[in-house]
Structure 1
Amino acid sequence: MTDFAMGPALLFCPADRPERYAKAADRSDAVILDLEDAVAPENKAAAREALIANPLDPARTIVRVNPAQTHDFAQDLQALHETNYRTIMLAKAEGGEDLWAISGFRVIALCETARGVLKASELAGEPNVVALMWGAEDLVASLGGTASRKDDGGYRDIARHARSTVLLAAAAAGKQAVDAVYVNIPDLDGLADEARDAVASGFSMKACIHPSQVEAIRAAYRPSAEEEQFARDLLAEAQHHGGVFTFRGKMVDGPILRHAEQTLRRAAHQR
């Protein structure tokens, strides 16, 4: 896997609201300054000016730029060259050609259209792509649908398929994967359940849209003391075995050991 990691909680912030930049950065593991959907067309020029005039730590900042096929994209890149930001999120990425005009930047390719999801493997294979993210609402809109979730809050099958496709494409290319936002802001229990599933499935990070959501994501990615100790004990016991063995009543082989190693990496990352 690439060593790119900013997570686990990435918080979106409208780029035309510079008064929110510092708070968003302080409350999250990394902030995504959004030049795309969060900014009305008439405010995009002002958003670029604010981006330049109000610098944050570039190591903990991502800038979401407009789709490569738009006029705003070129203007976004021009503004970025006047900053120290070098990690961008490309909205509505739909193929390797979208990345060819971007040099000198690490790119999170956002797969949020039908074409983008189907091209996820191609996008992940581009050398400047460090991660893939998927987006449910734009995806369903691109299909002509009306909602990514059922009445009970769970994803519809097409959204679950897209989520899995993007995760598999990222992992196959040795890149990180970012899980989509949870738009029901007051429903922190639902967010916590989804974030725990993201951890268990293999997503390295999860994006969010409100500061109140950050801790639920962090908590999901933070192993409990019992989980951490179990992983340590298991890996210590593995030193005495050359192959498959039994530990506390469970069979242990290579994949189980890698699960334990990942638990300790998550624990170390959140200290």
Structure 2
Amino acid sequence: MRSWIVVPADKDKALGQVAGSGADAVVIDLARAASEDTKQHTRLAARDWLVSHRSQVVAARSFARWVRIGPVSSPHWRADLEAAMEGAPDGVVLAECIGTDEVQQFAAALYECESRAGVRSGATKIIPELGANPAAALHLQPFAEEIHARIVGLGWDAAALARSVGARRMRGPGGLWTDALAYVRGQVLLAAHAQGLMAIEAGFRDTRDAEGAKRAALAARGDGFSGMIAVHPSQVEAINAAFAPTSEEIAEAREIVGLFALNPGAEALPSRGRYVRQGDLARARKLLGED
């Protein structure tokens, strides 16, 4: 999935319009800090949106329904999760995840919520947002070594990390990420590829800078990310275009799939001056929609 648009659950107008944004995944954000009274309203809004779009009858095209929950250190995440699961989302983005132990804790609660909501056990996927503070940023390696079965991708929250270190900017000259943020971004990208997962780029925050958003999406695709967060519907088209496979990529993917079809069980095969392996085959099938 290329474009992931995040919509605050307390923005009624945005919720009403997001189904037509063209994004591959809509993420209803319940992770924002709020009072308990406000939380009650946003939980109901998120649940109702998820329920009403479960069949996606009114949508112009199919999209995945996700919800953003957490952080686990907050007092509201369990109640948020229980409310959201009544709408049977396809997955949960776990905000400000600090480690694999936290994923285990969250996944255990998710099993309980699935059971109460009548959702098939294990059906709800997880994408943790990593490196939101300095301590978490320096302990990302476990995500490259052992991953929970529910995790289908890894993301990162540039804004949370910037706040945590007191940064006054997130990007420097030419739109490049500043050093601390670039470090986390690179680690998340490598961990995702080490596990064969989606790597989701953080959103471009300036909604007034369309050209900047386009450049950021192209840079993310060029660096190896598989998708990117959109913080406004106006960014979705540029993200979809940046992450769309080229005709050359499609042709090469077909060649790789064909090679392995002719040589079942092979571990490595020569192709275009290099050796392609099972990981290349998996990526080729995913690009062709055969995974």
The residue identity in structure 1 corresponding to 2:222 is A
* 2:142 is aligned with 1:122: yes
Q: Separation in 2 of the partners of 1:87 and 1:229?
A: 28
Identity within the alignment, %: 26
Q: Paired residue for 1:4?
A: none
Distance 1:138 1:260, change over 3 A: same
What's the CA shift string for 1:159-198, capped at 9, x where partnerless?
A: 1111000111122223221110011223222222222222
Q: Paired residue for 1:173?
A: 195
SS in 2 for 1:91: strand
Query: Which residue among 72, 76, 84 is the counterpart of 2:80?
Result: 76
CA contact (8 A) 1:148 1:155 kept: yes
1:87-166 alignment to 2 at 5 Å?
87-99=91-103, 100-102=105-107, 103-104=110-111, 105-111=124-130, 112-123=132-143, 125-166=147-188
The residue identity in structure 2 corresponding to 1:211 is P
What's the CA shift string for 1:244-271, capped at 9, x where partnerless?
A: 57x6xxxx212599879857854x45xx
Q: Paired residue for 2:31?
A: 36
Q: Separation in 1 of the partners of 2:149 and 2:284?
A: 28
User: Which moved further from structure 2: 57-66 or 165-174?
Assistant: 57-66
Q: Paired residue for 1:9?
A: 3
User: Which moved further from structure 2: 202-211 or 94-103?
Assistant: 94-103
Deviation of 1:29 after TM superposition, in Å, equals: 0.9
Q: Separation in 2 of the partners of 1:159 and 1:57?
A: 36
The residue identity in structure 2 corresponding to 1:121 is Q
CA contact (8 A) 1:8 1:217 kept: yes
The residue identity in structure 1 corresponding to 2:54 is D
Q: Paired residue for 1:3?
A: none
CA contact (8 A) 1:195 1:217 kept: yes
Distance 1:175 1:257, change over 3 A: closer
Query: Which residue among 37, 47, 55 is the counterpart of 1:52?
Result: 47
Distance 1:253 1:12, change over 3 A: same
Q: Separation in 2 of the partners of 1:223 and 1:162?
A: 26
* 2:232 is aligned with 1:210: yes
SS in 2 for 1:92: strand
Count of aligned positions: 255
CA contact (8 A) 1:67 1:93 kept: yes
Unpaired stretches in structure 2, ≥5 consecutive residues: 56-62, 112-123, 263-267
Q: Separation in 1 of the partners of 2:254 and 2:195?
A: 31
Distance 1:220 1:262, change over 3 A: farther
Distance 1:258 1:219, change over 3 A: farther
The residue identity in structure 1 corresponding to 2:10 is D
Q: Separation in 1 of the partners of 2:250 and 2:226?
A: 21
SS in 2 for 1:63: strand
The residue identity in structure 2 corresponding to 1:83 is G
Deviation of 1:215 after TM superposition, in Å, equals: 0.7
TM-score, normalised via structure 1 length: 0.80
The residue identity in structure 2 corresponding to 1:24 is V
Distance 1:67 1:231, change over 3 A: same
Deviation of 1:118 after TM superposition, in Å, equals: 2.8
Distance 1:265 1:123, change over 3 A: closer
Q: Separation in 2 of the partners of 1:53 and 1:243?
A: 50
SS in 2 for 1:120: coil
* 2:187 is aligned with 1:201: no
Q: Separation in 2 of the partners of 1:128 and 1:232?
A: 27
Q: Separation in 2 of the partners of 1:24 and 1:75?
A: 24
Distance 1:152 1:40, change over 3 A: farther
CA contact (8 A) 1:117 1:166 kept: no
Deviation of 1:229 after TM superposition, in Å, equals: 6.6
